[in-house]
Amino acid sequence: MQRIEASKKMFIKKNKEITAKELKLIANKIRQDIIKMLFTANSGHTAGSLGMADIFTALYFKILNHDPANPQFEERDRLILSNGHICPAQYACMANAGYFPEKELLTLRKLNSRLQGHPNKLDLPGLENSSGPLAQGVSIAAGYAYAAKMDKKDFTIFCLMSDGEHQEGQLWEALMFAGNKKLNNFIGIIDRNNIQIDGYVENLMPLEPLRQKLEAFNCNVYEMNGNNMQEVVITLENVLKNRDKTTRPSIIIAKTAPGKGISFMENKYEWHGRPPKKEEAESALKELQAERERINESDQ
């Protein structure tokens, strides 16, 4: 592990002071990194990674109690990514937060890389789990939350899920367990982007009424626009504030636009599992750079 710049380390330490504008700039940088990574890898999942860039940024740069210089510290919050295929967004956040050098991002999916196509916990310090086959992370997060309760630990287990993976039976086994065992330290975030590989979720195998399903499984349900940084931060802080006032697990349904930030990718399921070609990557980066200038000029 390379030495982390002091400024970066200070920046990441549960930065209470960070503004929405700063977070937006980081999310913009994360999106640019994702485009570069997927273009270089020439494979990977573009839409979901871009859509979840804001939430990953809010978690890694504002919400999570963590320390890139000491990834194993006991009291850290645990971020369990269940839909492992959107790991480019997580890798980009981890590198920008100081877990590993940013230049390593371009090794994504290459031979001997620590950045596997789907995350491998044993390869990269800072990853809490290995994932790929959908819904497995939800059970792992529930087990982790159960252990934390047994040990009277105060940290929170954040479990990131896709909406498509709610078609897996195991996910509901896990939520039934989390509700029954009163795991209020379990906070789930669903990337409700309505796409899966073969089409739109609501056409292919609809989840609605999703809120009612989750409530019927004894979860507190929140909703937010997962691409509005202010709303993401406020909602996450609110859920955390309410955590100990309830015995239920909390689930946030985060409405996101797959491919968010790139006009020709947004809301197109075709971008679920393909990387940008050269011209596409160039025009995507151009759009993101223009957006960066707009954020810089804005008040917040």
Q: Does 120 bind other proteins (CB under 8 A)?
A: yes
Q: What angle do CA 253, 19, 126 make, to 5 degrees?
A: 65
CA dist 18 and 62 (Å) reads 7
Q: Does 121 bind other proteins (CB under 8 A)?
A: yes
- Which strands sit side by side in the sheet containing 186-192, from one edge to the other? 78-81, 157-162, 186-192, 250-255, 220-225
SS3 151: coil
Q: Does 176 bind other proteins (CB under 8 A)?
A: yes
Q: Does 235 bind other proteins (CB under 8 A)?
A: no
Q: Does 251 bind other proteins (CB under 8 A)?
A: no
Strand partners, 255: 192, 225
Q: Which one of 41, 79, 86, 140 is in contact with other proteins (CB under 8 A)?
A: 140
Q: Does 83 bind other proteins (CB under 8 A)?
A: no
Question: Which CB sits closer to other proteins, 136 or 196?
Answer: 136
Strand partners, 196: 199
Tokens representing 57 are: 């940024």
Q: Is 108 exposed, middle or buried (0-12, 13-18, 19+ CB in 10 A)?
A: buried
CB of 178 to other proteins, least distance (A): 9
Q: Which one of 124, 138, 187, 232 is in contact with other proteins (CB under 8 A)?
A: 138
Rg (CA), the chain: 18
Q: Which of 98, 92, 59 is nearest to 76 (CA)?
A: 59
- Residue ranges of E strands in the chain: 78-81, 157-162, 186-192, 195-196, 199-200, 220-225, 250-255
Q: Which stretch binds other proteins (CB under 8 A): 46-54, 123-131, 239-247, 281-289?
A: 123-131
Question: Which CB sits closer to other proteins, 100 or 144?
Answer: 144
Task: Say how many residues touch other proteins, by CB under 8 A.
Answer: 31
Q: What single letter denotes the amino acid at residue 286?
A: K
Question: Which CB sits closer to other proteins, 63 or 138?
Answer: 138
CB of 87 to other proteins, least distance (A): 14
Which residues are within 8 A (CB) of 71 and not within 5 positions of it... i.e. 6 or more apart? 99, 125, 126
Q: Which stretch binds other proteins (CB under 8 A): 17-25, 28-36, 95-103, 121-129?
A: 121-129
- The site map against other proteins for 142-171 (x = CB under 8 A) is xxxxxxx-xx-----------------xx-
Q: Spell out a b/e string for 204-238, using b for 16 or more CB atoms within 10 Å of the CB, else e.
A: eeebeebeeebeebbbbbbbbebbbbebbbebbee
- The site map against other proteins for 23-52 (x = CB under 8 A) is ------------------------------
Question: Which CB sits closer to other proteins, 113 or 238?
Answer: 113
CB of 50 to other proteins, least distance (A): 25
CB of 197 to other proteins, least distance (A): 18
Question: Which CB sits closer to other proteins, 151 or 208?
Answer: 151
Q: Does 284 bind other proteins (CB under 8 A)?
A: no
CB of 137 to other proteins, least distance (A): 8
Tokens representing 233 are: 């931060």
Q: Which residues contact other proteins by CB under 8 A?
A: 120-122, 128-133, 135-136, 138-148, 150-151, 169-170, 173-174, 176-177, 181
